[in-house]
Structure 1
Amino acid sequence: MADPHPDPKLQARTLTRTFGRGQKTLAALGPLDLDIPPGEFTCIVGPSGCGKSTLLRIAAGLLRPTQGELRIRTSSPRPAAMIFQDYGIYDWKTVLANVRFGLDIQRTPRAEANARAMDWLTRLGLADFADAYPAALSGGMRQRVAIARALAVEPEILLMDEPFAALDAQLRTILQDELLALTQTTRTTTLFITHSLEEAIVLGDRVLVMSARPGRIIAERRPPFPRPRTGDIRTTAEFTALKSELWDLLRSEVRTEAVPA
Protein backbone atom coordinates (compact mmCIF):
# COMPACT_ATOMS: atom_id res chain seq x y z
CA MET A 1 0.00 0.00 0.00
CA ALA A 2 1.37 3.46 -0.89
CA ASP A 3 2.28 5.86 1.90
CA PRO A 4 -0.33 8.60 2.47
CA HIS A 5 2.54 11.11 2.38
CA PRO A 6 5.23 10.21 -0.21
CA ASP A 7 7.98 12.13 1.61
CA PRO A 8 7.15 12.33 5.32
CA LYS A 9 9.63 14.06 7.59
CA LEU A 10 9.08 11.36 10.20
CA GLN A 11 7.92 7.83 9.49
CA ALA A 12 7.40 4.90 11.87
CA ARG A 13 6.61 1.36 10.76
CA THR A 14 5.52 -1.44 13.14
CA LEU A 15 7.39 0.42 15.87
CA THR A 16 7.46 -1.35 19.23
CA ARG A 17 9.33 -0.88 22.48
CA THR A 18 9.46 -3.21 25.47
CA PHE A 19 11.30 -2.90 28.77
CA GLY A 20 12.70 -5.68 30.93
CA ARG A 21 13.18 -9.35 30.12
CA GLY A 22 11.45 -12.66 30.56
CA GLN A 23 8.41 -12.65 32.82
CA LYS A 24 9.17 -9.03 33.75
CA THR A 25 8.90 -7.80 30.15
CA LEU A 26 6.66 -4.74 29.85
CA ALA A 27 5.18 -3.90 26.46
CA ALA A 28 5.30 -0.10 26.41
CA LEU A 29 4.60 0.88 22.82
CA GLY A 30 3.17 -0.45 19.60
CA PRO A 31 3.06 -1.81 17.11
CA LEU A 32 2.65 1.70 15.77
CA ASP A 33 2.65 3.26 12.29
CA LEU A 34 3.01 7.00 11.85
CA ASP A 35 3.67 9.52 9.06
CA ILE A 36 4.29 13.22 9.70
CA PRO A 37 4.58 15.37 6.56
CA PRO A 38 6.78 18.47 6.32
CA GLY A 39 5.48 21.50 8.19
CA GLU A 40 2.75 19.67 10.11
CA PHE A 41 2.18 20.24 13.82
CA THR A 42 1.11 16.80 15.10
CA CYS A 43 -0.22 16.42 18.64
CA ILE A 44 -0.48 13.07 20.41
CA VAL A 45 -2.80 12.56 23.38
CA GLY A 46 -3.34 9.43 25.44
CA PRO A 47 -3.63 8.07 28.97
CA SER A 48 -0.69 8.18 31.35
CA GLY A 49 1.84 5.43 30.72
CA CYS A 50 0.67 4.71 27.17
CA GLY A 51 4.09 5.23 25.59
CA LYS A 52 3.79 8.82 24.32
CA SER A 53 7.10 9.91 25.79
CA THR A 54 8.72 6.63 24.76
CA LEU A 55 7.77 7.40 21.16
CA LEU A 56 9.28 10.86 21.42
CA ARG A 57 12.50 9.55 22.91
CA ILE A 58 12.86 7.04 20.08
CA ALA A 59 12.36 9.91 17.61
CA ALA A 60 15.07 11.90 19.41
CA GLY A 61 17.50 8.98 19.33
CA LEU A 62 17.48 8.61 23.11
CA LEU A 63 15.93 5.12 22.95
CA ARG A 64 16.16 2.34 20.40
CA PRO A 65 13.04 0.51 19.25
CA THR A 66 12.68 -3.15 20.16
CA GLN A 67 11.19 -3.89 16.75
CA GLY A 68 10.25 -1.90 13.68
CA GLU A 69 11.84 1.38 12.72
CA LEU A 70 11.48 5.13 12.96
CA ARG A 71 13.05 7.18 10.18
CA ILE A 72 13.58 10.93 10.00
CA ARG A 73 14.07 12.24 6.47
CA THR A 74 16.05 15.45 6.63
CA SER A 75 19.07 17.08 5.05
CA SER A 76 20.53 18.35 8.33
CA PRO A 77 23.21 16.53 10.36
CA ARG A 78 21.31 17.55 13.52
CA PRO A 79 17.72 17.39 12.32
CA ALA A 80 15.76 17.38 15.59
CA ALA A 81 15.57 19.49 18.74
CA MET A 82 13.74 18.36 21.87
CA ILE A 83 11.98 20.34 24.61
CA PHE A 84 11.26 18.60 27.90
CA GLN A 85 8.71 19.19 30.65
CA ASP A 86 11.48 20.04 33.14
CA TYR A 87 13.01 22.76 30.93
CA GLY A 88 16.39 21.01 30.54
CA ILE A 89 18.36 24.25 30.78
CA TYR A 90 21.64 24.63 32.65
CA ASP A 91 21.59 26.53 35.94
CA TRP A 92 25.27 27.51 35.68
CA LYS A 93 24.89 29.17 32.27
CA THR A 94 23.36 32.56 31.56
CA VAL A 95 20.16 32.76 29.58
CA LEU A 96 22.12 33.80 26.49
CA ALA A 97 24.60 30.94 26.91
CA ASN A 98 21.73 28.47 27.34
CA VAL A 99 20.07 29.58 24.13
CA ARG A 100 23.41 29.57 22.32
CA PHE A 101 24.30 26.08 23.58
CA GLY A 102 23.19 24.11 20.52
CA LEU A 103 24.88 26.58 18.22
CA ASP A 104 28.11 26.23 20.19
CA ILE A 105 27.93 22.45 19.74
CA GLN A 106 27.51 23.03 16.00
CA ARG A 107 30.60 25.28 16.13
CA THR A 108 28.69 28.25 14.83
CA PRO A 109 30.98 31.33 14.95
CA ARG A 110 30.43 33.14 18.25
CA ALA A 111 29.25 36.42 16.75
CA GLU A 112 26.65 34.64 14.60
CA ALA A 113 25.61 32.39 17.50
CA ASN A 114 25.11 35.37 19.80
CA ALA A 115 23.08 37.19 17.16
CA ARG A 116 20.81 34.20 16.53
CA ALA A 117 20.37 33.54 20.25
CA MET A 118 19.51 37.20 20.91
CA ASP A 119 17.04 37.17 18.03
CA TRP A 120 15.13 34.30 19.62
CA LEU A 121 15.33 35.86 23.08
CA THR A 122 13.83 39.02 21.60
CA ARG A 123 11.03 37.08 19.91
CA LEU A 124 10.18 35.42 23.21
CA GLY A 125 10.38 38.61 25.29
CA LEU A 126 13.55 37.65 27.14
CA ALA A 127 16.12 40.04 25.69
CA ASP A 128 16.40 41.93 29.00
CA PHE A 129 17.32 38.67 30.77
CA ALA A 130 20.17 37.61 28.48
CA ASP A 131 22.77 37.97 31.26
CA ALA A 132 20.59 36.50 34.02
CA TYR A 133 20.83 32.94 35.35
CA PRO A 134 17.90 30.50 35.36
CA ALA A 135 17.50 30.73 39.15
CA ALA A 136 16.27 34.30 38.68
CA LEU A 137 13.55 33.27 36.22
CA SER A 138 9.98 32.10 36.68
CA GLY A 139 8.87 28.70 35.40
CA GLY A 140 7.29 30.25 32.33
CA MET A 141 10.44 32.21 31.53
CA ARG A 142 12.57 29.08 31.88
CA GLN A 143 10.36 27.27 29.40
CA ARG A 144 10.67 30.19 27.01
CA VAL A 145 14.45 29.82 27.28
CA ALA A 146 14.12 26.12 26.42
CA ILE A 147 11.95 26.94 23.40
CA ALA A 148 14.39 29.63 22.24
CA ARG A 149 17.33 27.22 22.58
CA ALA A 150 15.53 24.58 20.50
CA LEU A 151 14.48 26.98 17.73
CA ALA A 152 17.84 28.79 17.57
CA VAL A 153 19.45 25.78 15.89
CA GLU A 154 16.72 25.89 13.21
CA PRO A 155 15.76 22.22 13.55
CA GLU A 156 13.89 20.47 10.80
CA ILE A 157 11.82 18.63 13.43
CA LEU A 158 10.80 19.93 16.86
CA LEU A 159 10.01 17.29 19.50
CA MET A 160 8.07 18.54 22.54
CA ASP A 161 7.32 16.35 25.56
CA GLU A 162 4.52 17.99 27.60
CA PRO A 163 6.49 21.24 27.80
CA PHE A 164 3.79 23.18 29.66
CA ALA A 165 2.59 20.47 32.06
CA ALA A 166 4.33 21.94 35.11
CA LEU A 167 2.89 25.43 34.63
CA ASP A 168 -0.27 26.93 36.11
CA ALA A 169 -3.35 27.17 33.90
CA GLN A 170 -3.06 30.88 33.06
CA LEU A 171 0.62 30.72 32.14
CA ARG A 172 0.03 27.54 30.19
CA THR A 173 -2.58 29.32 28.06
CA ILE A 174 -0.22 32.24 27.41
CA LEU A 175 2.61 29.95 26.32
CA GLN A 176 0.27 27.90 24.13
CA ASP A 177 -0.67 31.08 22.29
CA GLU A 178 2.97 32.17 22.00
CA LEU A 179 4.01 28.78 20.63
CA LEU A 180 1.07 28.84 18.21
CA ALA A 181 2.21 32.18 16.82
CA LEU A 182 5.84 31.05 16.56
CA THR A 183 5.22 27.73 14.85
CA GLN A 184 2.80 29.26 12.36
CA THR A 185 5.61 31.60 11.36
CA THR A 186 8.40 29.01 11.16
CA ARG A 187 6.25 26.05 9.97
CA THR A 188 8.68 23.72 11.70
CA THR A 189 7.56 20.08 11.58
CA THR A 190 6.53 19.37 15.17
CA LEU A 191 5.63 16.29 17.22
CA PHE A 192 3.98 17.46 20.43
CA ILE A 193 3.06 15.18 23.35
CA THR A 194 0.39 16.37 25.76
CA HIS A 195 -2.27 15.25 28.23
CA SER A 196 -4.32 18.35 27.47
CA LEU A 197 -7.03 18.02 24.84
CA GLU A 198 -7.38 21.80 24.74
CA GLU A 199 -3.67 22.19 24.03
CA ALA A 200 -3.79 19.61 21.25
CA ILE A 201 -6.75 21.27 19.52
CA VAL A 202 -5.33 24.80 19.78
CA LEU A 203 -1.89 23.85 18.48
CA GLY A 204 -2.35 20.87 16.20
CA ASP A 205 -2.92 20.49 12.51
CA ARG A 206 -3.69 16.89 13.47
CA VAL A 207 -4.51 15.20 16.79
CA LEU A 208 -3.67 11.51 17.22
CA VAL A 209 -5.22 9.50 20.05
CA MET A 210 -3.20 6.68 21.59
CA SER A 211 -4.57 3.63 23.36
CA ALA A 212 -3.66 2.44 26.83
CA ARG A 213 -0.31 0.62 27.08
CA PRO A 214 1.09 -0.67 24.82
CA GLY A 215 0.32 2.52 22.96
CA ARG A 216 -1.11 2.38 19.44
CA ILE A 217 -2.77 5.05 17.32
CA ILE A 218 -6.51 4.45 17.58
CA ALA A 219 -7.94 7.66 16.12
CA GLU A 220 -7.03 10.76 14.13
CA ARG A 221 -8.81 14.10 14.06
CA ARG A 222 -8.02 17.36 12.27
CA PRO A 223 -9.18 20.50 14.11
CA PRO A 224 -11.48 22.40 11.72
CA PHE A 225 -9.72 25.72 12.17
CA PRO A 226 -7.77 27.26 9.28
CA ARG A 227 -4.36 28.80 9.78
CA PRO A 228 -3.31 31.28 10.81
CA ARG A 229 -5.40 30.70 13.91
CA THR A 230 -5.41 32.22 17.39
CA GLY A 231 -6.36 31.06 20.86
CA ASP A 232 -9.79 32.61 20.30
CA ILE A 233 -10.90 29.28 18.82
CA ARG A 234 -11.27 28.05 22.43
CA THR A 235 -14.60 29.89 22.64
CA THR A 236 -16.16 28.31 19.55
CA ALA A 237 -18.79 25.59 19.44
CA GLU A 238 -16.56 23.55 17.10
CA PHE A 239 -13.77 23.58 19.68
CA THR A 240 -16.09 22.38 22.44
CA ALA A 241 -17.54 19.65 20.23
CA LEU A 242 -14.12 18.33 19.19
CA LYS A 243 -12.85 18.37 22.77
CA SER A 244 -15.89 16.34 23.84
CA GLU A 245 -15.39 13.89 20.97
CA LEU A 246 -11.73 13.37 21.85
CA TRP A 247 -12.59 12.81 25.49
CA ASP A 248 -15.15 10.18 24.49
CA LEU A 249 -12.39 8.40 22.57
CA LEU A 250 -10.00 8.62 25.50
CA ARG A 251 -12.36 7.77 28.34
CA SER A 252 -12.31 3.99 27.88
CA GLU A 253 -8.54 4.01 27.40
CA VAL A 254 -8.03 5.94 30.63
CA ARG A 255 -10.27 3.46 32.44
CA THR A 256 -8.32 0.56 30.96
CA GLU A 257 -5.06 2.03 32.19
CA ALA A 258 -6.53 2.55 35.67
CA VAL A 259 -7.48 -1.13 36.07
CA PRO A 260 -4.57 -3.08 37.66
CA ALA A 261 -3.23 -6.00 35.64
Structure 2
Amino acid sequence: MGEPYPKLEAVELTRAFGRTPHTVHALGPLDLTVAEGEFVCVVGPSGCGKSTLLRIAAGLLRPSGGVLRIRDAGARPAAMIFQDYGIYDWKTVRANVRFGLDVQRVPRREADARADDWLARMGLADFAGAYPATLSGGMRQRVAIARALAVEPGLLLMDEPFAALDAQLRTILQDELLELTQALRTTTLFITHSLEEALVLGDRVLVMSARPGRVIAERRPPFPRPRTGEVRTAPEFTALKSELWDLLRKEAAPA
Protein backbone atom coordinates (compact mmCIF):
# COMPACT_ATOMS: atom_id res chain seq x y z
CA MET A 1 0.00 0.00 0.00
CA GLY A 2 1.11 3.58 -0.66
CA GLU A 3 1.51 6.46 1.72
CA PRO A 4 -1.82 6.91 3.60
CA TYR A 5 -1.45 10.69 3.79
CA PRO A 6 0.47 12.94 1.43
CA LYS A 7 3.28 15.04 2.93
CA LEU A 8 1.77 18.13 1.32
CA GLU A 9 -1.84 18.50 0.25
CA ALA A 10 -3.57 21.52 -1.29
CA VAL A 11 -7.35 21.45 -1.80
CA GLU A 12 -9.22 24.13 -3.76
CA LEU A 13 -6.37 26.51 -2.96
CA THR A 14 -6.82 30.10 -4.18
CA ARG A 15 -4.99 33.37 -3.70
CA ALA A 16 -6.05 36.83 -4.86
CA PHE A 17 -4.25 40.15 -4.43
CA GLY A 18 -5.73 43.64 -4.14
CA ARG A 19 -9.29 44.75 -3.47
CA THR A 20 -12.38 44.83 -5.61
CA PRO A 21 -12.62 46.11 -8.34
CA HIS A 22 -8.86 45.77 -8.78
CA THR A 23 -8.54 42.20 -7.51
CA VAL A 24 -6.00 40.01 -9.28
CA HIS A 25 -6.77 36.29 -9.05
CA ALA A 26 -3.26 34.84 -8.95
CA LEU A 27 -3.81 31.20 -8.13
CA GLY A 28 -6.37 28.43 -8.31
CA PRO A 29 -8.52 26.81 -7.52
CA LEU A 30 -5.63 24.36 -7.33
CA ASP A 31 -5.43 20.79 -6.03
CA LEU A 32 -2.03 19.24 -5.39
CA THR A 33 -0.47 16.40 -3.42
CA VAL A 34 3.17 15.57 -2.78
CA ALA A 35 3.89 12.13 -1.30
CA GLU A 36 6.58 11.38 1.28
CA GLY A 37 9.96 11.20 -0.47
CA GLU A 38 8.57 12.46 -3.79
CA PHE A 39 10.21 15.16 -5.93
CA VAL A 40 7.48 17.17 -7.68
CA CYS A 41 8.35 19.87 -10.24
CA VAL A 42 5.91 22.60 -11.24
CA VAL A 43 6.30 24.43 -14.55
CA GLY A 44 4.11 27.15 -16.00
CA PRO A 45 4.12 30.48 -17.82
CA SER A 46 5.40 33.64 -16.09
CA GLY A 47 2.91 35.10 -13.64
CA CYS A 48 0.90 31.88 -13.29
CA GLY A 49 1.17 31.79 -9.50
CA LYS A 50 3.99 29.22 -9.12
CA SER A 51 5.88 31.33 -6.57
CA THR A 52 2.63 32.24 -4.81
CA LEU A 53 1.95 28.51 -4.31
CA LEU A 54 5.41 28.02 -2.79
CA ARG A 55 5.06 31.03 -0.50
CA ILE A 56 1.77 29.67 0.82
CA ALA A 57 3.45 26.29 1.43
CA ALA A 58 6.29 28.06 3.28
CA GLY A 59 3.82 29.93 5.49
CA LEU A 60 4.88 33.31 4.03
CA LEU A 61 1.43 33.98 2.50
CA ARG A 62 -2.07 33.03 3.59
CA PRO A 63 -4.42 31.49 1.02
CA SER A 64 -7.55 33.47 0.07
CA GLY A 65 -9.51 30.21 -0.05
CA GLY A 66 -9.05 26.48 0.27
CA VAL A 67 -6.43 24.81 2.40
CA LEU A 68 -2.79 23.72 2.23
CA ARG A 69 -1.59 21.18 4.79
CA ILE A 70 1.90 19.87 5.51
CA ARG A 71 1.98 16.70 7.60
CA ASP A 72 5.23 16.61 9.51
CA ALA A 73 6.05 16.07 13.16
CA GLY A 74 9.64 17.33 12.87
CA ALA A 75 11.08 20.54 14.33
CA ARG A 76 11.23 22.11 10.87
CA PRO A 77 8.32 21.06 8.62
CA ALA A 78 9.53 23.07 5.60
CA ALA A 79 12.63 24.93 4.39
CA MET A 80 12.67 27.21 1.37
CA ILE A 81 15.37 28.08 -1.16
CA PHE A 82 14.92 31.20 -3.28
CA GLN A 83 16.24 32.24 -6.69
CA ASP A 84 18.21 35.10 -5.10
CA TYR A 85 19.85 32.76 -2.56
CA GLY A 86 18.26 34.41 0.52
CA ILE A 87 21.50 34.13 2.50
CA TYR A 88 22.87 36.82 4.80
CA ASP A 89 25.76 38.92 3.47
CA TRP A 90 26.93 39.87 6.98
CA LYS A 91 27.29 36.25 8.13
CA THR A 92 30.10 33.89 7.18
CA VAL A 93 29.32 30.84 5.08
CA ARG A 94 29.40 28.61 8.18
CA ALA A 95 27.13 31.01 10.14
CA ASN A 96 24.69 31.05 7.21
CA VAL A 97 24.55 27.26 7.08
CA ARG A 98 24.16 27.11 10.86
CA PHE A 99 21.43 29.78 10.93
CA GLY A 100 18.39 27.47 10.92
CA LEU A 101 20.01 25.28 13.58
CA ASP A 102 20.61 28.35 15.77
CA VAL A 103 16.93 29.30 15.37
CA GLN A 104 16.03 25.75 16.50
CA ARG A 105 18.37 26.21 19.49
CA VAL A 106 20.50 23.23 18.53
CA PRO A 107 23.52 23.22 20.90
CA ARG A 108 26.46 25.11 19.41
CA ARG A 109 28.83 22.16 19.15
CA GLU A 110 26.24 19.97 17.37
CA ALA A 111 25.18 22.87 15.13
CA ASP A 112 28.81 23.48 14.11
CA ALA A 113 29.33 19.78 13.40
CA ARG A 114 26.16 19.59 11.25
CA ALA A 115 27.04 22.80 9.43
CA ASP A 116 30.57 21.54 8.72
CA ASP A 117 29.19 18.24 7.47
CA TRP A 118 26.99 20.09 4.98
CA LEU A 119 29.79 22.42 3.96
CA ALA A 120 31.90 19.35 3.16
CA ARG A 121 29.05 17.70 1.22
CA MET A 122 28.52 20.83 -0.88
CA GLY A 123 32.23 21.38 -1.57
CA LEU A 124 32.30 24.52 0.58
CA ALA A 125 34.62 23.41 3.41
CA ASP A 126 37.41 25.77 2.27
CA PHE A 127 35.00 28.72 2.31
CA ALA A 128 33.55 28.28 5.83
CA GLY A 129 34.99 31.58 7.06
CA ALA A 130 34.30 33.54 3.86
CA TYR A 131 31.47 36.04 3.33
CA PRO A 132 28.88 35.51 0.56
CA ALA A 133 29.95 38.65 -1.37
CA THR A 134 33.25 36.92 -2.18
CA LEU A 135 31.52 33.84 -3.68
CA SER A 136 30.22 33.11 -7.17
CA GLY A 137 26.48 32.70 -7.78
CA GLY A 138 26.84 28.92 -7.91
CA MET A 139 28.68 28.88 -4.58
CA ARG A 140 26.07 31.13 -2.97
CA GLN A 141 23.32 28.78 -4.11
CA ARG A 142 25.24 25.82 -2.65
CA VAL A 143 25.33 27.72 0.67
CA ALA A 144 21.54 28.19 0.46
CA ILE A 145 21.02 24.46 -0.23
CA ALA A 146 23.32 23.48 2.64
CA ARG A 147 21.48 25.84 5.00
CA ALA A 148 18.08 24.42 4.02
CA LEU A 149 19.13 20.77 4.30
CA ALA A 150 21.10 21.19 7.54
CA VAL A 151 17.81 21.58 9.46
CA GLU A 152 16.61 18.23 8.01
CA PRO A 153 13.28 19.67 6.84
CA GLY A 154 10.30 17.43 6.24
CA LEU A 155 9.69 19.31 2.99
CA LEU A 156 12.12 21.21 0.77
CA LEU A 157 10.58 24.11 -1.19
CA MET A 158 12.66 25.45 -4.09
CA ASP A 159 11.65 28.54 -6.07
CA GLU A 160 13.58 28.56 -9.37
CA PRO A 161 16.83 28.16 -7.43
CA PHE A 162 19.09 27.89 -10.48
CA ALA A 163 17.43 30.50 -12.74
CA ALA A 164 20.15 33.11 -12.24
CA LEU A 165 23.01 30.75 -13.11
CA ASP A 166 24.62 30.18 -16.50
CA ALA A 167 23.66 27.03 -18.40
CA GLN A 168 26.77 25.02 -17.57
CA LEU A 169 26.63 25.76 -13.85
CA ARG A 170 22.90 25.13 -13.82
CA THR A 171 23.47 21.63 -15.22
CA ILE A 172 26.15 20.90 -12.59
CA LEU A 173 23.89 22.02 -9.73
CA GLN A 174 20.93 20.05 -11.12
CA ASP A 175 23.08 16.93 -11.08
CA GLU A 176 24.31 17.65 -7.54
CA LEU A 177 20.75 18.21 -6.31
CA LEU A 178 19.61 15.01 -8.02
CA GLU A 179 22.29 13.02 -6.21
CA LEU A 180 21.58 14.67 -2.84
CA THR A 181 17.80 14.37 -2.83
CA GLN A 182 17.94 10.77 -4.05
CA ALA A 183 20.36 9.87 -1.26
CA LEU A 184 18.27 11.67 1.39
CA ARG A 185 14.80 10.91 -0.05
CA THR A 186 13.95 14.56 0.65
CA THR A 187 10.33 15.41 -0.16
CA THR A 188 10.67 18.33 -2.57
CA LEU A 189 8.38 20.80 -4.32
CA PHE A 190 10.41 22.53 -7.01
CA ILE A 191 9.29 25.48 -9.14
CA THR A 192 11.07 26.05 -12.43
CA HIS A 193 10.73 27.70 -15.84
CA SER A 194 12.92 25.02 -17.37
CA LEU A 195 11.28 21.90 -18.78
CA GLU A 196 14.69 20.22 -18.98
CA GLU A 197 15.28 20.87 -15.26
CA ALA A 198 11.83 19.52 -14.37
CA LEU A 199 12.32 16.33 -16.40
CA VAL A 200 15.81 15.66 -15.01
CA LEU A 201 14.78 16.15 -11.38
CA GLY A 202 11.12 15.26 -11.01
CA ASP A 203 9.24 12.08 -10.17
CA ARG A 204 6.26 14.06 -11.45
CA VAL A 205 6.05 17.23 -13.55
CA LEU A 206 2.93 19.38 -13.15
CA VAL A 207 2.07 21.98 -15.78
CA MET A 208 0.20 25.07 -14.61
CA SER A 209 -2.15 27.20 -16.68
CA ALA A 210 -1.81 30.93 -17.21
CA ARG A 211 -3.06 33.05 -14.30
CA PRO A 212 -4.97 32.15 -12.19
CA GLY A 213 -2.75 29.07 -12.10
CA ARG A 214 -4.34 25.62 -12.02
CA VAL A 215 -2.78 22.24 -12.76
CA ILE A 216 -3.67 21.35 -16.36
CA ALA A 217 -1.38 18.37 -16.96
CA GLU A 218 0.77 15.86 -15.10
CA ARG A 219 3.57 13.71 -16.50
CA ARG A 220 5.87 11.12 -14.89
CA PRO A 221 9.30 11.13 -16.55
CA PRO A 222 9.91 7.45 -17.42
CA PHE A 223 13.40 7.32 -15.91
CA PRO A 224 13.92 4.98 -12.95
CA ARG A 225 15.75 6.05 -9.80
CA PRO A 226 18.53 6.41 -9.03
CA ARG A 227 18.88 8.48 -12.17
CA THR A 228 21.66 10.76 -13.39
CA GLY A 229 21.85 13.73 -15.73
CA GLU A 230 22.48 11.26 -18.57
CA VAL A 231 18.69 11.02 -19.01
CA ARG A 232 18.98 14.33 -20.92
CA THR A 233 20.23 12.38 -23.95
CA ALA A 234 17.38 9.82 -23.99
CA PRO A 235 14.91 10.00 -26.91
CA GLU A 236 11.97 9.84 -24.44
CA PHE A 237 13.39 12.94 -22.75
CA THR A 238 13.28 14.96 -25.96
CA ALA A 239 9.80 13.68 -26.84
CA LEU A 240 8.36 14.54 -23.43
CA LYS A 241 10.04 17.93 -23.47
CA SER A 242 8.43 18.88 -26.79
CA GLU A 243 5.02 17.58 -25.68
CA LEU A 244 5.16 19.75 -22.55
CA TRP A 245 6.50 22.70 -24.53
CA ASP A 246 3.43 22.54 -26.80
CA LEU A 247 1.18 22.69 -23.72
CA LEU A 248 3.14 25.56 -22.20
CA ARG A 249 3.29 27.55 -25.41
CA LYS A 250 -0.52 27.52 -25.64
CA GLU A 251 -0.75 28.80 -22.07
CA ALA A 252 1.89 31.49 -22.56
CA ALA A 253 0.26 32.80 -25.75
CA PRO A 254 -1.80 35.97 -25.22
CA ALA A 255 -5.52 35.20 -25.02
| Class of the TM-score when normalised by the shorter of the 2 chains | over 0.9
Equivalent AA in structure 2 for residue 26 of structure 1 = V
Aligned to 1:91: 89
Residue 26 (structure 1) aligned to one of 1, 13, 24:
24
Aligned to 2:234: 236
TM-score (norm 1): 0.96
Partners of 1:160 and 1:72 lie apart in 2 by 15
Q: How many residues align?
A: 254
Aligned to 1:184: 182
| Offset from partner CA, 1:13-48 (integer Å, 9 cap, x none) | 000000011110000000001111100000000000
Partners of 1:117 and 1:5 lie apart in 2 by 31
Partners of 1:182 and 1:121 lie apart in 2 by 13
Partners of 1:167 and 1:183 lie apart in 2 by 20
Aligned to 1:155: 153
Aligned to 1:249: 247
- Tell whether the 8 Å contact from 2:58 to 2:78 is kept in structure 1 after alignment: yes
Aligned to 1:127: 125
Aligned to 2:196: 198
Partners of 1:78 and 1:95 lie apart in 2 by 21
Cα 1:169/1:252, change in 2 over 3 Å: same
Q: CA deviation at 1:78?
A: 2.1
Aligned to 1:100: 98
Q: Partner of 1:177: helix, strand, or coil?
A: helix
Higher mean alpha-carbon deviation, 5-14 vs 131-140, is at 5-14
- Tell whether the 8 Å contact from 1:8 to 1:37 is kept in structure 2 after alignment: yes
Q: Partner of 2:54: helix, strand, or coil?
A: helix
Q: Partner of 1:132: helix, strand, or coil?
A: coil
Partners of 1:188 and 1:7 lie apart in 2 by 16
- Tell whether the 8 Å contact from 1:194 to 1:200 is kept in structure 2 after alignment: yes
Q: CA deviation at 1:9?
A: 0.3
Aligned to 1:49: 47
- Tell whether the 8 Å contact from 1:15 to 1:30 is kept in structure 2 after alignment: yes
Partners of 2:96 and 2:75 lie apart in 1 by 21
Residue 226 (structure 1) aligned to one of 197, 204, 224:
224
| Offset from partner CA, 1:173-217 (integer Å, 9 cap, x none) | 000000000000001100000000000000000000000000000
Equivalent AA in structure 2 for residue 150 of structure 1 = A
Q: Identity rate of aligned residues, in percent? A: 80
Q: Partner of 2:66: helix, strand, or coil?
A: strand
Aligned to 1:141: 139
Residue 168 (structure 2) aligned to one of 167, 170, 181:
170
Equivalent AA in structure 2 for residue 253 of structure 1 = E
Equivalent AA in structure 2 for residue 169 of structure 1 = A
Partners of 2:40 and 2:55 lie apart in 1 by 16
Partners of 1:250 and 1:6 lie apart in 2 by 32
Structure 2: where are the runs of 5+ without partners? Answer: none
Segments of 4+ moved more than 2 angstroms:
none
- Tell whether the 8 Å contact from 1:13 to 1:70 is kept in structure 2 after alignment: yes
- Tell whether the 8 Å contact from 2:114 to 2:150 is kept in structure 1 after alignment: yes
- Tell whether the 8 Å contact from 1:42 to 1:190 is kept in structure 2 after alignment: yes
Q: Partner of 1:33: helix, strand, or coil?
A: strand
Query: Equivalences for 1:10-21 in 2 at 5 Å?
Result: 10-21=8-19
